[in-house]
A and B are shown apart, each in its own frame.
Chain A
Amino acid sequence: MLTVTHYTVLSAILFSIGALAVLIRRNPLIMFMGIELMLNAVNLAFVAFARYLNNMDGQVFVFIVLTVAAAEVAVGLALVVAIFRARENVDVDEIDALKG
């Protein structure tokens, strides 16, 4: 019998891998993919809890998250395009104009 723990542990593992993608990749596109991974991991947790609590609120939240993810990808990729155009490079580590 599958319990909610199965899904939440899977969610935690996927989230950690997403975070790892953000942290060790210098390509902003892959970093965005990591962010998408984390969002999806959270979605999974939402849906799992919704299922085992007999409560649909979690699923509605997933829709909202989907929307936010779509918006984030649109803006983020636009940023990447703009930066690439300006610097002919998409190494995140070289975008350090905010350094103190």
Chain B
Amino acid sequence: MTDYGAFMEALVFYLFAILGVLAALGVVIARSPVRSALSLALVFLALAAMYVLLNAPFLAVAQIMIYAGAVLILFLFVIMVLNPRLDLIGGRTAAQTVAAVIFAAAFGVLMSVTFAAGQLAPATGVFTPEYVSEAGHVQVIGALLFSEFLLPFEIASLLLLIAIVGAMVLARRERVRHGDPRQDLR
């Protein structure tokens, strides 16, 4: 039973890990922004699967709802509104592209090596998987958000408000400044 469970876990992990990496590469490579956006949706789905594997089912649901739902829809919406040119890929110079690839790869390798070489500290936390599944994932996160992390939570809400107002101000068509009041009536 344990062997089977572990095998299934590893299978699901590698499946979605490969899916996620390929989809991420698709985001970078795709010529069409719509394809990039759809690849991004696949990455989000893969990550949601990871969250399930990591005993965070609520986060998985939130990931799908917020990223795949809200953020991605916003991207697609803007793409459709603007209908931008499709071939904007590559750097101003080839050197930029080459350097970017080299250093991004170097970064990934360095980080991977670091993680692989590192030792994880002993698991001293109280939120064992058994405790969480017994108390309920949503309840645990909710309790933490409204007690220990209340201040960051409130600040995040303020940030959202500012972002909403800012987005409105930025995206609004400015006509008054140029002086012809009739334009406002159009």
Classify A-B as touching or not with yes or no (CB < 8 A). Answer: yes
A residues contacting B by CB (< 8 A) are 1-10, 12-21, 23-27, 29-30, 32-34, 36-37, 40, 43-44, 47-48, 50-57, 59-60, 62-64, 66-75, 77-82, 84-85, 89-91, 93
Contact pick for A60, options B47, B84, B144, CB 8 Å:
B144
Closest to B84 in A: A90
**Contact between chains at B43 and A40 (CB < 8 Å):** yes
In the bound assembly, the distance between CA atoms of A47 and B169 in angstroms comes to: 35
In the bound assembly, the distance between CA atoms of A89 and B40 in angstroms comes to: 23
* Contact string against A for B residues 87-124, beta-carbon threshold 8 Å, 1 for contact and 0 otherwise: 01111100011001100110110011001101011011
Least CB distance, B48 to chain A, in whole angstroms: 10
Least CB distance, A37 to chain B, in whole angstroms: 6
Q: Report the interface size for chain B: residues with CB under 8 A from the other chain.
A: 89
Contact pick for A70, options B27, B28, B160, CB 8 Å:
B160
Closest to B20 in A: A14
Classify the interface of chain B: helix, strand, loop or mixed: helix
The residues of B that contact A78 with a CB separation of less than 8 Å are 166-171
Contact pick for B54, options A13, A29, A51, A85, CB 8 Å:
A51
**Can you name 26 A-B residue pairings with CB atoms under 8 Å?**
A5-B116, A8-B115, A14-B20, A20-B104, A24-B91, A26-B90, A29-B75, A30-B33, A36-B71, A51-B56, A53-B123, A53-B124, A54-B124, A54-B127, A59-B56, A60-B141, A60-B144, A60-B149, A64-B149, A67-B160, A69-B67, A73-B71, A77-B74, A78-B169, A90-B82, A93-B91
In the bound assembly, the distance between CA atoms of A71 and B166 in angstroms comes to: 10
**Contact between chains at B115 and A9 (CB < 8 Å):** yes
**Contact between chains at B51 and A47 (CB < 8 Å):** yes
The residues of B that contact A9 with a CB separation of less than 8 Å are 111-112, 115-116
**Contact between chains at A60 and B145 (CB < 8 Å):** yes
Classify the interface of chain A: helix, strand, loop or mixed: helix
In the bound assembly, the distance between CA atoms of A55 and B126 in angstroms comes to: 7
The residues of A that contact B141 with a CB separation of less than 8 Å are 56, 59-60, 63
Closest to A92 in B: B88
**Contact between chains at B156 and A64 (CB < 8 Å):** yes
The residues of A that contact B128 with a CB separation of less than 8 Å are 54
The residues of A that contact B28 with a CB separation of less than 8 Å are 17, 20-21, 24-25, 30, 34
In the bound assembly, the distance between CA atoms of A34 and B25 in angstroms comes to: 10
Least CB distance, A86 to chain B, in whole angstroms: 10
The residues of A that contact B24 with a CB separation of less than 8 Å are 13-14, 17-18, 37
